[in-house]
């Protein structure tokens, strides 16, 4: 059972929720940049959290499968076609074998996800299926996907008959969407610009001169076009440190706003280095990172400082909402399957 790439997409890779526990070997956790959208895409079609999905930037791929299956596309407003039929994002979609699946351009946000029933089953490397591009391992051969690539997919937990019953169509009908769907629980529903993100003050925040400190908390920064899975470069008036002393290498975390010598901050993302030597101005709170990742080049961002307690409370609240959504979708599927 396979998935075939007919037309690739920018930064198209296989991702999952990352491989934690290997930072001391210099291996970042990685994982889908918008983990909330990735998880929702899996839950919509009854997959487990850990199933690997396709991740793409700005616009999606064209592909087909050699078996009847379900897919779900999340990330933002994005056009989906199955054969001749326009289909919906954020809904489970039935796809007959060999139908052409066309994912279009995203109109807001920049990372899209496509989950397929059974998950993408490339070999695991160091316990994960995600692609670590700078390390050249994971996913398919540690690289972005190209035309002609073939990815194994897992067995659909329900047989062909079950799919037919679930969607009320026979195997030769065009793609069909269920009447229900779900959106991921980002802190706000819409990806818009400019937007303010919550940060925790970093260890070296006080090394900024007072003008720079004030500007960091009030100015708008634009996301540069050189941004990628390793880090998002912010452009704006340069920030200045009061010292030019180089720092000793120390651990870093995704969301860290680093200040290189040129004064243009870099926000470390999922594939960012596990250690680094740049000053740490601030850290985007974990609860806001998935939505931060959806900022497109050119979008504007601002920062607002919160306490550690507020950051943790936001994460706990998000976790509760995630659990609610996960179990609601699971209950939905259990009901459907019980009716078969």
53, two tokens: 């999905």
303: three-class secondary structure by DSSP: strand
Does 187 bind other proteins (CB under 8 A)? Our answer is no
For 215-279, the DSSP string reads: HHHHS-EEEPTT--SSEEEEESSPP-BS--PPPPPEE--TTEEEE-TTS--EEE-TTS-SEE-SE
C-beta closer to other proteins: residue 312 or 332: 312
User: Which DSSP helix (H) or strand (E) runs through 42?
Assistant: helix 35-44
Contact between 37 and 44 under an 8 Å Cβ cutoff? The reply is no
Q: How far apart are CA 111 and CA 297, in angstroms?
A: 12
Record the tokens describing residue 1, joined without a space: 């059972």
Token pair of 220, please? 């708008």
Residue 245, interface with other proteins (CB under 8 A)? no
The answer to whether 229 contacts other proteins (rule: CB under 8 A) is: no
Query: With CB under 8 A as the contact rule, which of the stretches 4-12, 41-49, 70-78, 276-284 interacts with other proteins?
Result: 276-284
Q: What is the DSSP letter of 19?
A: -
319 binds other proteins (CB under 8 A): yes
Residue 222 and residue 327 in contact, taking contact as beta carbons nearer than 8 Å: no
Cα 257 to Cα 300: distance, rounded to the nearest angstrom: 15
Q: Kindly tell me which residue out of 146, 192, 249, 334 binds other proteins, with binding defined by CB under 8 A.
A: 249
Question: Is 274 near other proteins (CB under 8 A)?
Answer: yes
Rounded Cα–Cα distance for residues 90 and 44 (Å): 8
Which is nearer to other proteins, 3 or 200 (by Cβ)?
200
- Choice from 10, 49, 98, 134 touching other proteins (CB under 8 A): 134
Instruction: Choose, by CB under 8 A, the member of 58, 104, 135, 152 that binds other proteins.
Output: 135
Q: Does 248 bind other proteins (CB under 8 A)?
A: yes
The yes or no reply on residue 4 touching other proteins (CB under 8 A) is no
**Candidate residues 309, 335, 338, 339; the one interacting with other proteins per rule CB under 8 A:** 309
State yes or no: residue 286 binds other proteins (CB under 8 A). yes
The total number of residues shown for the chain amounts to 340
Q: Which of 8, 130, 139, 273 binds other proteins (CB under 8 A)?
A: 273
Candidate residues 87, 106, 114, 200; the one interacting with other proteins per rule CB under 8 A: 200
Site for other proteins in 10-39 (CB under 8 A): 20-27
| Binding-residue total with other proteins (CB under 8 A) | 42
Question: Which residues of the shown chain bind other proteins in the complex (CB under 8 A)?
Answer: 20-27, 125-126, 132, 134-138, 200, 203, 246, 248-253, 255-256, 273-276, 280, 283, 285-286, 308-309, 311-312, 315-316, 319
């Amino acid at each position: 059972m396979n998935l075939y790439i007919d037309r690739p997409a920018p930064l198209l890779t296989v991702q999952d929720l990352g491989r934690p526990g290997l930072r001391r070997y210099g291996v970042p956790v990685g994982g889908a940049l918008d983990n909330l959208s990735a998880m929702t895409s899996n839950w919509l079609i009854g997959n487990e959290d850990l199933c690997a999905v396709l991740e793409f930037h700005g616009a999606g791929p064209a592909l087909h499968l050699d078996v009847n299956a379900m897919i779900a596309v999340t990330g933002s407003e994005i056009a989906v076609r199955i054969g001749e039929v326009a289909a919906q994002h954020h809904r489970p979609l039935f796809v007959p074998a060999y139908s052409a699946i066309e994912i279009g351009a995203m109109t807001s946000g920049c990372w899209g996800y496509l989950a397929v029933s059974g998950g993408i089953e490339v070999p695991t490397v160091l316990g994960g299926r995600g692609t670590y591009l700078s390390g050249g391992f994971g996913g398919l051969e540690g690289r972005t996907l190209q035309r002609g690539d073939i990815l194994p997919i897992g067995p659909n937990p329900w047989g062909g008959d079950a799919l037919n019953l679930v969607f009320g169509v026979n195997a030769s009908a065009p793609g069909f969407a269920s009447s229900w769907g779900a959106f991921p629980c980002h802190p706000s529903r819409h990806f818009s610009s400019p937007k303010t993100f919550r940060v925790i003050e970093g260890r070296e925040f006080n090394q900024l001169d007072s003008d720079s400190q004030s500007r960091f908390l009030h100015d708008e920064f634009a996301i540069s076009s050189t941004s990628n899975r390793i880090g998002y470069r912010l452009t704006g008036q340069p920030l200045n440190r009061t010292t030019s002393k180089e720092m000793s290498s120390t651990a870093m975390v995704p969301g860290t706003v680093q200040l290189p010598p040129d004064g243009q901050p870099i926000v470390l993302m999922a594939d960012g280095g596990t250690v680094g030597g740049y000053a740490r101005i601030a850290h985007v709170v974990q609860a806001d990172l998935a939505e931060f990742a959806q900022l497109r080049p050119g979008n504007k961002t601002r920062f607002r400082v919160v306490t550690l307690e507020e950051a943790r409370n936001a994460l706990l609240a998000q976790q509760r909402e995630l659990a609610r959504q996960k179990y609601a979708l699971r209950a939905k599927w259990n009901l459907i399957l019980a009716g078969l």
